[in-house]
Chain A
Amino acid sequence: MSIHVRNISKRFGAFTALDDVSLEVESGSLTALLGPSGSGKSTLLRIIAGLETPDSGIVEISGEDATDLRPQKRNVGFVFQHYAAFKHMTVRDNVGFGLAIRKRPKVEIRERVDRLLELVQLQDFGHRYPAQLSGGQRQRMALARALAPEPRVLLLDEPFGALDARVRAELREWLRRLHDEVHVTTIFVTHDQAEAMDVAGQIAVMNHARVEQVGTPAELYEEPATAFVMRFVGEANEVGDRLVRPHDLELSQVPLARGVEALVDRVVRLGFEVRVELTTADGAPLLAQLSRDAVAGLELEQGQIVWVAPTASREFASAG
C-alpha cells in the first residue's frame, strides 16, 4: 500500500519539527528516514501512524486521505525503539493482542500467533513474559505483534537503536529478509547511515525539519543534492569551497597538479582500507582513504609532508 505525505508541517511550541514536508513511498517498498536527532524523522513517522496530528498537510495511505483517521483505524503496524512490550502479558498474548481486539475467533488467533512466532523464531518463548526475554527477542516479539493484524504499512521508529552492535547487525539482516517474505510497505527511522544503506531500497535524508533528498543508497552517495547529504551519507572533506570524498584524494611524494602540501598526522591500517589523517598547510584537517596496495607504494610515515590532490569533488550552492 502506498503512502503519500503532502506538505506536512508540525510545530511543538517554538520548535519546528516538520516544515512543509512531502514524501512518496511506493507500495511494497522498504524506505528509511535518515537524519540526525531532532531532524523531524520520528515526528513524520508518528504522523503517518496517527500518533501525532500535523498542523497542516495531508497523509494518504493507499490513496485514501487518512489525515483525520485515529491510529486504531489506520491499520498500521508500529514498532517502538524501546519495544513497548505489554509487560503483564505473555509473548503469545502480546502477539495476539491486535487480533483479540478485533474479536477474531480463538482458533484463528492461535494459528496466526503460531505462524508469526515461527517467523520471528520465538516459537519456544510463547509462554514467557517480556521481562524474561533479551532485547533482541523483545524487538522480534514487537515486530510479530505489529504484523499480526496484517497491517497495510509497517512503521519502525529506530527499531535497533537500543540493541548492542552484534544483535543490531543480526536484526538488520533479518528485517531485510522478512520484508522479502512479507512484502508489506515498510518505513523505518534511523540516524545510522550504514544501517539505512544496508537495509533500505529508498532513503529520505532529513535535516532541520525538511527532506533534503530522496533516492536509492547509490544515488545519495554518488549524486548528493546538498552539502548536508554529502556529509551525512558517507564521509566528506572540505577543500576550499568544494567537498571531496576521502577515497577521491590522491597522495604523492612528488608535486601534483592542483595539489596542496599536507602533513601526515596518523596512518590507520584497517586491513584492506588504510585511513590517512592529514593537515594542510593552511591548517585544515583532511581524511584520505586508500587501499592497502596504494599505500604500499607510497611508504607513508607519520610526520611526513606529502602532496594531496582531489580526483573528483563537488561544489554546492550553499555549503550548509
Chain B
Amino acid sequence: MRRLGLRSIALLYLAAILVGPLAIVFYRTFENGVGDAWSALSSPDALHAFTLTLIIAAIAVPLNTVFGILCALAIVRRRFRGKGILNAFIDLPLALSPVVVGLSLFLLYGRTGWLGGWLERHDLQVLFALPAMVIATVFVSLPFVAREVVPTLREIGDEQEQAARTLGASGWQTFWRITLPAIRWAVIYGVVLTTARCLGEYGAVAVVSGRIQGQTETATLRVEERYDSFDLAGAYAISIVLALIAIAVLLAMTAIRPREASA
C-alpha cells in the first residue's frame, strides 16, 4: 500500500509537471491539421535555425568530450596542486545561470570588453556570430562527460593500466586499448547528455547571439521569436521537434543503461 501510494505521488507529479504541458503542446500544434506545422518548419528561417543548432552541437560536443575525458583522467589519476579547484570549477556551469554566462562573455568579447578592442582591430567577429554562440554552448555543456567518466574511472582503478604498462604499452597505447574501452559506456552516456544540453541551450546563447533571424537564431531562440510574433503554430511546431529530439535522447539513454550495468 505504502509503495503504491509513493508510486502514485511520483506519477501524478510527473504528469502535472511534465506530461501535461507536453501533451498540450502536441495538441495545439496539430489542432488545425498538419499543414500549419509543416509550413512553419519548412520556412527558410526555421531550417536555418535547426541547421545552426546542429552546427553548434557538432562543434561543442566533440570539444567537451575530449576535454571531459582529459579532465576526468587528471582528477582521478593525477596528483597535482589545485586539483580541488579544478574539480569544483567543472561543476560551475551547473550552478551558474546561463544568462550570467552569456553576460560574462558579453563583457569579455564586447566592444568595450577586455578582448573586444583587440578583436575589432583584427576584424574578428565573435559576438553576435557563431564563435560566441559556440563558446557559450561549450561552457554550459562542459561538466557532463567529466561527471560521468570520473566515477567509472575511480571504480575500475588503475591496476589494468599498470598491467598494460608492465606489458610494454606506452601511455597512448594504454589509453586506447585499456582505459577507453573500460570507460566507453560512461563516455557515450556523457555525450548523450552533452548533446541534449547543447540542443536545448537558450539563456547564454540568447545573450550573445543578437538573435538575428536567418543568421544567429537557433531552434530554441526561434521558438521564443515565433511566440512573440503571435505565430503560435510556428512556436509549437519547433517545440515539438525539440521535444521529439529530447525523447529520442532519453530513449537512447535507457537503451544504454542496462548494458552499462552488465558490463
Contacts and interface: CB of A to CB of B under 8 A. Distances in A.
B166 A86 contact: no
Contact of B168 (A75, A86, A87): A75
B81 to A, nearest CB: 15
A84 B177 CA distance: 14
B169 interface: yes
Interface in B154-193: 159-160, 162-170, 173, 177-178, 181-182
A71 interface: yes
Contacts of B167: 72, 77, 97-98, 101, 145-146, 148-149
A101 B166 CA distance: 11
B181 A84 contact: no
Contact of B166 (A77, A82, A85, A88): A77
Contacts of A80: 159, 162-163
B163 A149 contact: no
12 contacts: A51-B166, A74-B166, A76-B166, A77-B167, A78-B163, A82-B159, A84-B159, A84-B162, A85-B160, A88-B181, A142-B163, A145-B167
What 3 pairs between A and B have smallest CB-CB spacing?
A: A98-B167, A84-B159, A84-B163
A87 B169 contact: no
A72 B178 contact: no
Nearest to A79: B163
Q: How large is the interface on B (under 10, 10 to 19, 20 to 34, 35 or more residues)?
A: 10 to 19
Contacts of B177: 97, 101
Interface of A: 49-51, 70-72, 74-78, 80, 82, 84-88, 97-98, 101-102, 142, 145-146, 148-149
Contact of A71 (B159, B166, B173, B182): B166
A96 to B, nearest CB: 10
Contacts of B181: 88
A82 B162 CA distance: 12
Interface in B173-223: 173, 177-178, 181-182
B162 A102 contact: no
A174 B53 CA distance: 63
Nearest to B162: A51
A82 B166 CA distance: 16
Q: Tell which of B167, B169, B178 has the most Cβ of chain A within 10 Å.
A: B167
Nearest to B167: A98
A87 B170 contact: no
